[in-house]
Amino acid sequence: MRPSAIVFDLYGTLLRIDSLADAAKAVGAPDPAAFVAQWRQKQIEYTWCLSLMQDYRDFDTLTTRALDFTCARMGLTLDADARRSLAQAWLTVTPYDDVAPTLRTLRKRDVPLAVLTNGVRASAERALNEGGIRDLLDDVLSVETVRVYKPDPRVYKLATARFGCEPERILFVSSNGWDASGAAGFGFAVAWCNRAGLPAETLGYPPMMTLKKLDDVLALLS
């Protein structure tokens, strides 16, 4: 296929959430991997809850509130400096190894590339810059514009508005199964990057293709 643009989810798709484990360990989390998994789960739950409540708090705020919940849940007490340091670790999460090579190859094929993220745009921009991949993308689209979170269709519409095309002309790539379902429901051509080898979602909106790693997306453009 030759899409009008390829749009990527950010956290968990381009950037490794599990890289937060080192920061969690540094502040004394007894099981850093489990701590990060709980933190991420609560962060996403809060986005869904607020969207259903027709309320909005930015992603950085929800990340900190999810951190507070996770600390209480796992019995970890942080002073103000440690809390701030751990919350800010989201600004330096590292890309997966296959991300930069894949984006460079796609750029050589003159396909417009963008990120569509729940994150605060300034924070997403910084994380992409820290990871050395911002210059490989044409744009960073954030839910801040519509003040609601994925999988609300208004979020996905940001991509069709940006690139001036119908949904089926966008190839959307996400490692989050619920995000892939939401994007497919909106009408995107969806490639689910199933890095973790999880079962497929059963909402009734399957992806066009399931990838094992990000660079598998290159075969779609062959």
Active site residues: 9
The one-character DSSP state at 198 is: P
Beta-sheet pairing, 139-142 with 5-8 = unpaired
Distance from C-alpha of 127 to C-alpha of 27, rounded to nearest angstrom: 21
Distance from C-alpha of 161 to C-alpha of 105, rounded to nearest angstrom: 25
Beta-sheet pairing, 139-142 with 189-193 = unpaired
Distance from C-alpha of 111 to C-alpha of 94, rounded to nearest angstrom: 24
